[in-house]
A and B are shown apart, each in its own frame.
Chain A
Amino acid sequence: MNKEELLTTASLALLELEEGEVDRLGEEIARMLDYFEMMTKLDVDGLEPTTHAFQKTNRLRADVLNNNNNNNINNAFNRNLIMENGNDVEDDFFVIPNVL
């Protein structure tokens, strides 16, 4: 993996790398990629790509409400409990630094 590829990958993951880390990680990640490279040697002609490890299909749910949302205090998912998990809450909104 060259330096440019590494920096692109890091920025996609919102990681900031320092100069020293770039050289070290470049080498480490290149080794990991080499390891996975083995798989490309396998003959997969005519095989359908595996998208899921289990063969199960068609897990759907009926279109019904969970009634989580009516401030029912007995419900673990009630809004007050959920809002308590926000770092900063104002007027029932979660508040974060302006991202515009």
Chain B
Amino acid sequence: MSDTMVNDKYETFVGLEIHIHLLTESKMFCGCKANYGDEPNTNVCPVCLGYPGVLPTVNQKAMKMGYTVARALNCRLSRKTYFERKNYFYPDMPKNYQISQFQEPVGVEGFMEFEYNDEIKKIRIHDVHLEEDAGKMIHAGDMSLQDFNRAGYPLLEIVTEPDLKSGEETEAFLRAFRRMVRYLGVCDGNMDEGSMKCDANISINTPGAGLGTKVELKNMNSPRFVRRGLQYEAQRQAKALDEGVKLIQETRLWNENRDITESMRTKEMANDYRYFPEPDMPPFCPDDSFMADVEKEQVELPLARKHKIMRKYGISSEQAEFIHDEKVNADYFEQVMALGADAQAVYTWLSSDVQKELNLLNMTLTESPLSPERFSELLKLMDDGKISGKIAKQVLIDVFEEDRDPSAIVEEKGLSQISDPQAIGAVIEKVMAANEEVVKAIREGEQKQKGFLVGQIMKETGGRAAPALVQKILSEKLR
């Protein structure tokens, strides 16, 4: 069943709580390394293990990143932000509270725009707040094993209003969000490694009736699972309402092996986190120079970038989608364009032959030997008729293999195109003399055989004869 079938009868409301790991060196409140995948309990100290008497201190870079994201999401930025203790007992957090933000987060009341089905959608942001991650537990037999490397990892939580209308739209939003945080350089957006996580709340109701009974959905580890989890849940709720079953407010887990959501054990009591201001950390009041730094961190965001690229270089939405997906690639594209190149040619090469080489060598465009200068030079050699498209493909491979300029490769290997009519004429005569039968057949009307001669001529010249000239001279000589 598709999203729309649910939507015909019911309206769907989805809100997200997105957690991103900030790309800092050290943890949120102590100097331990913030790193994924190290040996258990190597990045720990008395602060992140919650020893009594320690003094947590806010990581300046994490604070700046928090404001940077809040600013990019058009939030009202707090002039006095502070941390609070969120109290709960669970062994993943040895302090028995998580340091988070509640009353005065870094930013509130923002919005984010993204593209869905060729339309610009606007999703309201409730708030953006800083907090620390919890440790990791592995449950085995009658034991639970604790690794606190992740405890105290800087986290930024972004809470949206329930403005998303379907699983599919939510997936598109998440992809746009991921792209945005990567553009800002605050998070790698890697959902597999848990550096970006997302919980969703979803309710459905008859159109116009407002929000329904909210279900919180967890354990969706990729944008695709978020879509499928929400689609399943919207259908499950629709079926319940159709049958007159009353929905209950609960937390459900997405089971990716069974493609269903399952109810978590419902607690008898609603959570009561008893937030109160963290007494160990004074409020943070950003001054003008801090705000100026935050302003400096702002970049042209993906959506604006995409539309600028489309306008400025006359390429299609689909082409711009590919080019702007990663900021470094969009930067690269524009650098090549600035050196003078045809946008269509740049796109075509980037999306096919260049991409093929990158995949083969498992490297990114910026790490590759193909600098914007070399790429532009290669296109120019082709444009000027010095090499053919076919030779250019070979030169591209050589640039990747030899890490040298295309012009040097062309010169050294004698790859430049033969565009001297006399030289080409001589080769054509030689090929015609060697294939008298074919020449006779063509003259008697078998035009199809002409391709064979062209192939022989190209073979003779190592693919270097200018194709248009070959066609022209060959036609003349066959008359």
Q: Do A and B bind each other?
A: yes
Q: Please list the residues of chain A having a beta carbon within 8 angstroms of any beta carbon in chain B.
A: 8, 11-12, 14, 51-54, 56-71, 77, 79, 82-83, 90-100
Q: Is the CB of B282 within 8 A of A94?
A: no
Q: Is the CB of A65 within 8 A of B24?
A: no
**Chain B residue nearest to A11 in the complex (CB):** B269
Q: Is the CB of B281 within 8 A of A59?
A: yes
In whole Å, how far is A94's beta carbon from the nearest beta carbon of chain B?
4
User: Would you mind naming 26 contact pairs between A and B with Cβ atoms under 8 Å apart?
Assistant: A12-B274, A14-B89, A51-B82, A51-B277, A52-B283, A57-B284, A58-B284, A58-B285, A59-B282, A60-B58, A60-B284, A63-B24, A64-B31, A65-B33, A66-B26, A66-B30, A66-B45, A68-B45, A77-B46, A94-B41, A94-B146, A95-B143, A96-B143, A96-B144, A98-B141, A99-B90
In whole Å, how far is B60's beta carbon from the nearest beta carbon of chain A?
4
Q: Is the CB of B283 within 8 A of A95?
A: no
How many A-B Cβ pairs are below 8 Å? 131
Q: Is the CB of B45 within 8 A of A77?
A: yes
Interface centre among B62, B142, B144, B284 (most CB of A within 10 A): B144
Question: B63: CB under 8 A from chain A?
Answer: yes
Interface centre among B60, B141, B285 (most CB of A within 10 A): B60
A60's partner among B45, B63, B145, B277 (CB-CB below 8 A) is B63
Q: Is the CB of A98 within 8 A of B58?
A: no
Interfacial residues of chain B within 35-81, with CB under 8 A of chain A in the complex: 39-46, 49, 57-63, 80
**Chain B residue nearest to A68 in the complex (CB):** B45
List A contacts of B437 (CB < 8 A).
Answer: none
List A contacts of B279 (CB < 8 A).
Answer: 52-53
Interfacial residues of chain B within 141-165, with CB under 8 A of chain A in the complex: 141-148
Question: B139: CB under 8 A from chain A?
Answer: yes
CA distance A60 to B293 in the complex (A): 15
CA distance A90 to B40 in the complex (A): 10
CA distance A98 to B87 in the complex (A): 21
List A contacts of B63 (CB < 8 A).
Answer: 60
CA distance A91 to B61 in the complex (A): 33
CA distance A8 to B148 in the complex (A): 30
Q: Is the CB of B41 within 8 A of A82?
A: yes
Interface centre among B30, B141, B145 (most CB of A within 10 A): B145
In whole Å, how far is A15's beta carbon from the nearest beta carbon of chain B?
11
List B contacts of A68 (CB < 8 A).
Answer: 31-32, 44-45
List A contacts of B58 (CB < 8 A).
Answer: 59-61
